[in-house]
Structures are given as structure tokens and as C-alpha cells.
Amino acid sequence: MGPIHYALLLYLFAGLAIPLGGVLARVEHISDRAVEARFLKSITAFGGGALLSAVALVLVPKGAEVLPVALAVGLLVAGGVCFALVDAALAKAGGSGALVLAMLLDCLPEAMALGALLVTEAATAKLLAAMMFLQNLPEGFAAFREIWAQGKLPAAKVLLVFVALAGLGPLCALLGFAFLADDPETLGAITIFAAGGILYLVFQDIAPEAHESGAYSPALGPVAGFALGLAGDMVIG
């Protein structure tokens, strides 16, 4: 198998966790509404923790190690401002796609990094793909429930959208493999811009959705999600 095909296969494995999470969300059924609500909030919180781990352990370090301080900080802030405007536009249109946006901001730059790593660090790329799979699964679950709860799209169409989103990943991995392996500055700029957008979305939309007054277990979700990312980063490192 050639390296390009290997890059596509690796991200296909990681990206398929998105529709798989959607399928699990579709078939999930807990009869007790209070327990179900707490479970869904915990999954959303877990996804938020996984996103924060991607920011702290993958996206920001990738940018910070190759960019000047002023440019790195500027791109981080620009990412937050840009996606605040996008989030406001979505809210004005009557919907919230915060989890989907955050998922894309997480997995697509990581897919580019995965493709670039295959040129120099194939073993690290394999571990990154495994970590992305474990992150994408709860993110796909929570994002499916967010969209489906709005009642505007049937479950089958939401799952088709998720399959299409997963299909974007191999294209980004191919882009990273072909063009960004020898251009770490551009890759770093993309990842740190995405990190700013994720930080905004986590604290504006995802964390408030995960909170439940009088319940404490959902707040452990971010800890578990970040722990997952930390474990993956330490294994890769």
C-alpha cells in the first residue's frame, strides 16, 4: 500500500467514528427521562473535554512551535472572533451548529496534521488516528443529538451529512500529505486558528449545554475527555 493510500485509510478509520457516534445516538434509548438527560449532558461534556485536549495538546502546540509569538496569538484571537461571528449568524438563522462546527474545527486540521506526519513520523500518525477516533465518537454522538433535537432533519439525513463530513477528512489528510509536510508554518497557522474557534465554541455553546443544576456527574465529563486526550498525547510523545 502506497503512503497516500495509507493516509486516506488512516483518516477514514478516524473519521468513520463521526457517523458511528450518530448511529449510537440514534439507537440510544433510556426510559427514565431524567437519567437520559443527565447521560446526554455527560456525553456533551465529555466531547467538550476531548476538544479542549485537542486544543491544548495538538492544535496550539503545532502552531506555537513554528510561528512567531505575535502571529500565533493573533491567529488564535482571529479564530475565536471569526467563529463568534459564525455562531451569531447561525443563532440568527434559528439554529445552533456549535458541536458540528467544533467537531470540524477539531478533526479537519488534525487530519491535515496526520497526513503531514506520515511523511516523517508514521508511528505517531497511527497513534494520532486512534486518538482522533476516540475523540470523534462522543463528538459525533452529541452533535447528532443536537441536530436531531431541532426536528428539522430526519435521522437518516443527519447520518448522511455525518458520512459526508467524515469524507472531508481523507481529503484534508491528502492535502496535508501532499502540500503541508514541508510547510509546517502553514499547517501551524491552520491549527492555531482552529484552536481559537474551538475555545470560543466550547465556552459559549458546549459547556453551558452540558451543565445541569444539582447534578455533579456531567461536570466530570470534561475531566474524562481531557484525560483521554492526555493519555493519547503521552503515548504519542
* pLDDT, tens digit, 9 for 90 and up, residues 89-133: 777 766 556 667 777 777 777 777 777 776 666 666 676 777 778
pLDDT for 75: 93
- Region 122-145 average pLDDT: 76
- Is the model's pLDDT at 78 over the cut of 90? yes
Query: Residue 42 half-sphere exposure, CB side, CA atoms within 13 Å?
Result: 12
215 φ/ψ angles, rounded to the nearest 5 degrees: -115, 140
The per-residue pLDDT of the chain, averaged, comes to: 80
Of 12-16, 58-62, 139-143, 148-152, the one with minimum mean pLDDT is: 148-152
Confidence band, pLDDT 50/70/90 cuts, at residue 16: confident
Q: Which of 42-46, 63-67, 145-149 has the highest mean pLDDT?
A: 63-67
pLDDT for 68: 93
- Is the model's pLDDT at 1 over the cut of 60? no
pLDDT for 119: 64
Which own/partner contact pairs does 70-75 have at CB distance under 8 Å and 24+ positions apart?
71/189, 72/188, 72/192, 75/189, 75/192, 75/193, 75/196
pLDDT for 27: 85
- Other CB atoms within 10 A of residue 46 CB: 27
pTM for the structure as a whole: 0.75
Confidence band, pLDDT 50/70/90 cuts, at residue 187: confident
Confidence band, pLDDT 50/70/90 cuts, at residue 190: confident
Q: Are 132 and 126 in contact (CB under 8 A)?
A: no
CA dist 22 and 177 (Å) reads 28
